[in-house]
């Protein structure tokens, strides 16, 4: 949108990106696709480093529940502002993907946060036209990437149609 901060942001990204890639990329999940690729690697190699995303932490372990509980209790007792909630099981929503371990096979589909769906930029607003196209392209791309089966993809297309109707 030719805002002053756009140039600054691009400059900082160009300057800082090599440092990030060297020191932090291996422990950061970029998006749901990155998470799925890393989980697939984990299922074949059995190793995945803990990853953080803003204030969410996701990790896999073959350790006992007791050792995981001890680790989380230690983290929660480290500082009064740290409160990690446990969600242990064969399925988990993280970022915008829902992941399920079905006997060692990863099943993925889009995760819809209740607070966000079905809102996008209202199509009657005065935003530039490409913003609306991006909303459609992104929704379809995510549905293709995250849907494990054709029926899941078809369900996502149905939800998209309803979302677009809802937003005018």
Domain count, the chain: 1
pTM: 0.51
The answer as to whether 16 is a domain residue is: no
Is residue 21 included in any domain, yes or no? Answer: no
> How far is it, in rounded angstroms, from Cα 46 to Cα 104?
11
Rg over CA atoms, the chain: 19
Q: Is residue 142 part of a domain?
A: yes
Cα separation, 96 vs 78, whole angstroms: 29
Among 71, 45, 44, smallest CA distance to 57 is for 71
Range of the domain at 158: 112-168
pLDDT, position 119: 62
C-beta of residue 128 within 8 angstroms of C-beta of residue 165: no
Query: What pLDDT shows up at residue 154?
Result: 92
pLDDT of residue 52: 44
Sign of CA dihedral 53, 30, 32, 42: negative
Instruction: Classify residue 12: in a domain, yes or no.
Output: no
Under-70 pLDDT residues of the chain = 1-2, 42-57, 115-123
Q: What is the pLDDT of residue 53?
A: 45
H helices of 48-128, in order, are 65-78
Residue 101: closest CA among 42, 144, 52, 31: 42
User: How many other CB atoms sit within 10 Å of the CB of residue 141?
Assistant: 11
Residue 129 lies in a domain: yes
Instruction: Indicate the helix (H) or strand (E) that contains 29.
Output: none
Query: Which residues neighbour 101 within 8 Å (Cβ) at sequence distance 6 or greater?
Result: 90, 91, 107
Tokens of 62: 């073959």
Residue 117 resides in a domain: yes
DSSP 26: G
Residue 84 lies in a domain: no
* Tens digits of residue pLDDT in 26-55: 777 777 778 777 777 766 665 555 554 445
Whether residue 75 is contained in a domain is answered as no
* Coil, helix or strand at residue 163: helix
Rounded CA gap, 45 and 88, in Å? 21
């Amino acid at each position: 949108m030719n805002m002053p901060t756009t140039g600054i942001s691009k400059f900082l990204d160009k300057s800082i990106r090599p440092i990030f890639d060297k020191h932090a990329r291996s422990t950061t999940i970029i998006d749901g696709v990155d998470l799925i690729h890393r989980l697939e690697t984990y299922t074949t190699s059995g190793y995945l480093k803990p990853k953080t995303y803003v204030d969410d932490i996701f990790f896999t372990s073959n350790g006992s529940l007791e050792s995981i509980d001890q680790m989380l209790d230690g983290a929660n007792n480290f500082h009064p502002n740290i409160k990690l909630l446990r969600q242990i099981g064969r399925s988990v929503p993280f970022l915008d993907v829902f992941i399920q371990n079905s006997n060692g096979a990863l099943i993925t589909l889009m995760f819809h946060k209740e607070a966000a769906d079905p809102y996008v930029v209202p199509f009657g607003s005065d935003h530039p036209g490409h913003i609306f196209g991006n909303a459609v392209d992104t929704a379809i791309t995510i549905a293709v990437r995250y849907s494990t089966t054709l029926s899941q993809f078809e369900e996502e297309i149905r939800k998209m149609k309803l979302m677009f109707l809802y937003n005018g």
